[in-house]
Structure 1
Amino acid sequence: MKKFIKELRDKILDGYVINEEEAFKIINIEENDEDTIEVLLQCSNDIRKKFAGNKADLCSIMNGKSGRCSEDCKYCAQSAHYNTNVCEYALINYEDVLERAKEVQAQGIHRFSLVTSGRGIESDEELESLVKIYSGLKRDTNLKLCASHGIIDYDQAMRLKEAGISMYHHNVETSERYYGEICTTHTYEDRVSTINSIKEAGLDLCCGGILGLGEKREDRVKMAFEIRELGVKSVPLNILNPIKGTPLGDNLVLSPNEILKTMALFRFVIPDSYIRYAGGRMTLGDKQHKGFLGGVNAALTGNYLTTVGSNVDNDKDMITCSGLEI
């Protein structure tokens, strides 16, 4: 297996595009096979160096509207379908957003995104409020601005772009095959339609998923290839943090080796992308740095939406100690 991994790395370095059969061999490496996984991580890092360089990208998010979401995504604390005791509030004001954005900028983070609960932007009034917020951030900070407001159409994407947004975040969450097990109030096709609107508007796309939703290894491979087909270059990978009160609240968390192996696989499938640590990476424990030694070259840092995140200074130290530049 080690010989196969090294030969596949060499082929990719020469411009070869991996296929699903080869990816299945990687994802089925046993999670307790430490030696083989170590080789996989080293080869993934070689691919990262060749195709994505040595720069690490840092981003941070702010929960701009919380709770009361109409959708039934089975992992989400903010869904109105479940009793999770999540804090609920309407769209926050610009002064609070600006204060957080300036803190992020002072910490040396590159990107900042407002995230709102709900199926999408709920009204013209909400869209105008978001436009005012982003226009203000464009004027008052030097941050690259991203946005995450669920399912949107082309016209809404254009309005956000005109306000200063350069990237829109919209995950596929899992494979098309498995998506119906995770959400029934909208479809995988609804998500792809939003992705196409984002691309048509000329915005960069940040699109990844969640590992540990109860999916099979096959679904992780399928998701990687589906994301590649969508032309995504920023791929955030979350690890499920089971939330009590949600249908997935009792899910077992994936092992660190299973997580690292999957992230390395994404580097093999999409060599020139930003593979981004996102929510839930604390489950890696003392193996968290191995991601940056195994192909990961971006991170969501600071606190997340409804859970405590990572310490920015610690993240920066971990990244630079792994040989990456911020």
Structure 2
Amino acid sequence: MTFIDQLKEKVLNQQEISREEALALYEEPLEKLCEAADEIRKHFCKNGFDICTIINGKSGKCSENCKYCAQSAYYHTSAEEYPLLSTEEIVQQAKYNADRGVLRYSIVTSGRCLNDAEVDRMCASIRAIKENVEIEVCVSFGLLNEEQFGRVKAAGATRVHNNLETSRRNFPNVCTTHTFEDKVAAIKAAKAAGLNVCSGGIMGLGETVEDRIDMALSLRELGIRSVPVNMLNPIPGTPYEENQRLTVDDMRRIVAVYRFILPEASIRLAGGRGLMEDKGEGCFQSGANAVISGDMLTTAGYTIETDMDMIHRLGYEIALCNE
């Protein structure tokens, strides 16, 4: 039995692989690794595929200095700047997505966190969505506290998105205006308020393989069941504009190893998929089983219709996963 098969059997028997095993697994032959990861995905997740869309509910002028981000006020980029969108615009976009078969819709806002007045406005928008559209609502409002998350849940949201972005060790290289611990505290606050949490990170920030593994282990420790895996799209004007772009095979390897570490999670291709020649199809055969469709926050993605065609061609069924 090969090393890959040994670890696959371990995972299928609901045993966790160790950091050392994950690091060794990362060096195994790609095709065998991806095949085994897809077997694990089928075992734990069947053919359910979680597709969500996002709306950029507030753009630009962010107080944080995350080096990858076009919306940071620290950098000069071409990102659009505007305050909170109206409830009408947010509901209209939710209906557009729901009419195309999307089951989950996320409102994303720039900035460290929304203030109380902004939280109230977004709660009104969430309530309006739930009254008018058959769709689940996710929010990404930054580093809110438990009380604020509780208001968001009461308004009708079921999930909070808050990426760790990278490992604890590498985080200070990426951002210095808030910390990895701040992220963890917000995730714990959201869970304490009764919300599900979606959290992952960005690949291609200059991290090591160890950093990639360590972030996945942090997500496992936090009990995260929806994991966005972004590929850095180097934005002109940001400190990472010259970073080397990852390849499709790099991303296949990452999602495959993540499937071994997080066997029951929805592993979600997110930002940067527009740079992949195969639209992420290889990753969806290597352990990934979820996607953010449509446009990203400041970069173009693939259309909902194109993604739906690919999802069905690969034998998946659209479903709300890990609720």
TM-score by length of 2: 0.96
Query: Among 268, 280, 283, which residue is 2:272 paired with?
Result: 280
Distance (Å, rounded) in 1 between the aligned partners of 2:27 and 2:38: 19
Using the TM superposition, give the Cα deviation of residue 284 of structure 1 relative to its aligned residue in structure 2, in angstroms.
2.5
Using the TM superposition, give the Cα deviation of residue 286 of structure 1 relative to its aligned residue in structure 2, in angstroms.
2.3
Partner of residue 17, structure 1 = 16
SS in 2 for 1:289: coil
Identity over aligned pairs, percent: 44
Q: Is the 8 A contact 2:269 2:280 kept in 1?
A: no
Distance (Å, rounded) in 2 between the aligned partners of 1:275 and 1:294: 10
Partner of residue 33, structure 1 = none
Q: CA-atom RMSD, angstroms?
A: 1.1
Distance (Å, rounded) in 1 between the aligned partners of 2:177 and 2:110: 14
Using the TM superposition, give the Cα deviation of residue 124 of structure 1 relative to its aligned residue in structure 2, in angstroms.
2.0
Q: Is the 8 A contact 1:172 1:209 kept in 2?
A: yes
Kindly indicate whether residue 166 of structure 2 is the aligned counterpart of residue 167 of structure 1. no
TM-score by length of 1: 0.95
Using the TM superposition, give the Cα deviation of residue 287 of structure 1 relative to its aligned residue in structure 2, in angstroms.
6.7
Partner of residue 316, structure 2 = 324
SS in 2 for 1:205: strand
Q: Is the 8 A contact 1:167 1:204 kept in 2?
A: yes
Query: Among 288, 292, 298, which residue is 1:296 paired with?
Result: 288
Partner of residue 168, structure 2 = 176
Letter in 2 for 1:201: A
Query: Among 64, 77, 80, which residue is 1:71 paired with?
Result: 64
Q: Per-residue displacement from partner, 1:74-108 (whole Å, max 9, x unpaired)?
A: 00000000000211000010111111111100110
Distance (Å, rounded) in 2 between the aligned partners of 1:147 and 1:282: 23
Partner of residue 307, structure 2 = 315
SS in 2 for 1:165: coil
Using the TM superposition, give the Cα deviation of residue 283 of structure 1 relative to its aligned residue in structure 2, in angstroms.
2.6
Query: Among 39, 50, 56, which residue is 2:43 paired with?
Result: 50
Q: Is the 8 A contact 1:28 1:217 kept in 2?
A: no
SS in 2 for 1:286: coil
Query: Among 80, 85, 88, which residue is 2:81 paired with?
Result: 88
Q: Per-residue displacement from partner, 1:43-77 (whole Å, max 9, x unpaired)?
A: 00110111112110110000000000000000000
SS in 1 for 2:158: strand
Letter in 2 for 1:250: E
Using the TM superposition, give the Cα deviation of residue 25 of structure 1 relative to its aligned residue in structure 2, in angstroms.
1.1
Letter in 1 for 2:18: N
Using the TM superposition, give the Cα deviation of residue 127 of structure 1 relative to its aligned residue in structure 2, in angstroms.
1.3
Q: Per-residue displacement from partner, 1:191-239 (whole Å, max 9, x unpaired)?
A: 0010010010010000000000010111000001011000000001100
Query: Among 159, 179, 190, which residue is 1:187 paired with?
Result: 179
Q: How do 1:2-151 residues align onto structure 2 when only pairs under 5 Å count?
A: 3-29=2-28, 36-121=29-114, 123-151=115-143
Distance (Å, rounded) in 2 between the aligned partners of 1:132 and 1:311: 28
* Unaligned runs of at least 5 residues, structure 2: 319-323
Q: Per-residue displacement from partner, 1:100-153 (whole Å, max 9, x unpaired)?
A: 1111001101100110000001x2211111111001111111100000011110
Letter in 1 for 2:198: C
Q: Is the 8 A contact 1:256 1:287 kept in 2?
A: no
SS in 2 for 1:288: coil
Partner of residue 321, structure 2 = none
Q: Per-residue displacement from partner, 1:242-270 (whole Å, max 9, x unpaired)?
A: 00100001101112111110011110001
SS in 2 for 1:81: coil
Using the TM superposition, give the Cα deviation of residue 28 of structure 1 relative to its aligned residue in structure 2, in angstroms.
2.9
Query: Among 223, 232, 237, which residue is 2:224 paired with?
Result: 232
Distance (Å, rounded) in 2 between the aligned partners of 1:265 and 1:283: 21
Q: Is the 8 A contact 2:248 2:282 kept in 1?
A: no
Q: Per-residue displacement from partner, 1:262-288 (whole Å, max 9, x unpaired)?
A: 011110001011001111023331272
SS in 2 for 1:56: strand
Distance (Å, rounded) in 2 between the aligned partners of 1:6 and 1:283: 32
Partner of residue 32, structure 1 = none
Query: Among 207, 210, 229, which residue is 2:202 paired with?
Result: 210
Letter in 2 for 1:77: A
